[in-house]
Amino acid sequence: MSEIETVRVEIPTPLRGLVDGRPVVEARGTTVGAVLEDLAGRFPALRTHLFGPSGTVRGFVSIYLNQEDIRYREREATPVRTGDVISIVPAIAGGAADPAAVGLSPEEMLRYSRHLLLPEVGLRGQRKLKEARVLLVGAGGLGSPTATYLAAAGVGRIGLVEFDTVDLSNLQRQILYTTEDVGRPKLEAAAERLRALNPEITVVPHPGPLTSANALDLLKEYDVVVDGTDNFPTRYLVNDAAVLSGIPNVYGSIYRFEGQVTVFAARSGPCYRCLYPEPPPPNLVPSCAEAGVLGVLPGVVGVLQAIETLKLLLGTGEPLIGRLVLFDALALRFRELQVRPSPDCSLCGPKATQRGLIDYPDFCGVAAPGHSPASEAPTILPQELAERLHGRDPPLLLDVREPEEWAIARIEGARLLPLGELAHRVDELTGAREIIVYCKMGGRSAQAVARLTELGFRGVRHLDGGIDRWRRDIDPSMPRY
């Protein structure tokens, strides 16, 4: 018996509405006919468009295997191999006088004139963009360039999910905002900027965080969701809601000088859980606020997300489905890795067990976005620490940040011992009766407390809220970063 192969089937625009709007679907079989049968079995509405009453491929549908018409091979009995590409090419009426493709005002014709000159876009494609609906979760470093280019391109309805306010530290990378916006809700400033850029589009603000209670209702109003999040609970939530809603998820992430981009293809997979079945332990992966990020990096990654979104909406090009692009800004190097649908995926796999949304902060072991993380490590408040440091028997004050952070600001009397060096320099702490640890916001210091406690140290606590809270409560003159 021949081995069953996995084949990519390219779906033409007229038939995409029958396969959840996807331009490419993977199907299995040993021959072209078996692959098409597998496809029709999963998407029953497609069957009448492909097969006639006798069960053979209809005469007005041409089938190509790797750019060769199967009628000149063995027709439906033509064997296939994993990695082959089947193209479905139905007869279409065509014609430039289609009124549905010309629904643009004179102002829009001029605004999008460079798009209209592209055969891959043209009048019909620009109309698709005008009718498209895209939801961006997050209007920060990634969301800023993505939203800007989608608005400029003429995506008719752009939804924004955001609950934060503009901070001065955002402006190094979040190009939707200006210095005058500091202190304003990001949602308000972003919507204003996008409407000013293109008054022909509709910007829909969705205040507050995305949650398990509102995600499915929100996503059902959109064609594509773009993940511009900066935390694992929301990232898993976006993925799961996209899979359950049957819409593609354009994923991007950044860290210091590196970025990742891919497209997760709804129910067919792969999805984010295929790539990362479980989240990292809390505080293991530092945020941009702790690790830093090159300001232009989210611009590059966000623009790539915008490109992928436009390709999905236009039904052109080759989306990054099943391909993970890694970008190294320091080396200016792109790499591409394959991402396969996992047969063990609990959400999109053949034996999926997850049928709804879950408690994502609990799943990731962290606090919900917009809330302070809970920590089991014992803490000390800034005021008490200030009193202890000026007392007769001050504790050993340990700063576990990096030297670059130490150079910006530090608490007087502290000793620098970066968290990554703690394990092999722990002898330097021998004899300390009491140790107080601090970092920027409390995540790394909580890890340090846990490690020191495991090593037998007693009386170890960490500064609640880190040096960031110390600056607010004790020393406002301290530089903020």
Distances (CA, A) of 241 to 210, 245, 354, 476: 10, 6, 11, 42
Rounded distance between C-alpha atoms, residue 123 and residue 153, angstroms: 13
3-class DSSP assignment, residue 50: helix
Q: Which residues contact 129 (CB under 8 A, 6 or more apart)?
A: 115, 121, 153, 154, 155, 156, 310, 313, 314
Active-site residue identified among 271, 288, 348, 364: 288
3-class DSSP assignment, residue 264: strand
The H or E element spanning position 258 is strand 258-264
Q: Which residues contact 29 (CB under 8 A, 6 or more apart)?
A: 4, 5, 7, 35, 36, 37, 38, 80
The H or E element spanning position 94 is none
**Checking DSSP bridges between strand 157-162 and strand 68-69, what pairing results, if any?**
unpaired
Residues 188 and 181: beta-carbon distance below 8 Å? no
3-class DSSP assignment, residue 362: helix
Strand-pair partners of 33: none
3-class DSSP assignment, residue 308: helix
Joined tokens for residue 279: 């989240």
Neighbours of 82 (CB within 10 A): 12
Rounded distance between C-alpha atoms, residue 234 and residue 238, angstroms: 6
**Checking DSSP bridges between strand 435-438 and strand 396-399, what pairing results, if any?**
parallel
Rounded distance between C-alpha atoms, residue 378 and residue 266, angstroms: 42
Q: Is 439 a known active-site residue?
A: yes
Active-site residue identified among 271, 348, 364, 439: 439
Q: Which residues contact 379 (CB under 8 A, 6 or more apart)?
A: 442, 461, 462, 463, 464
Q: Which residues contact 454 (CB under 8 A, 6 or more apart)?
A: none
Which ranges constitute the DSSP H helices of 21-163? 32-42, 47-50, 106-111, 113-116, 122-131, 143-153
The residues assigned a catalytic role are 288, 439
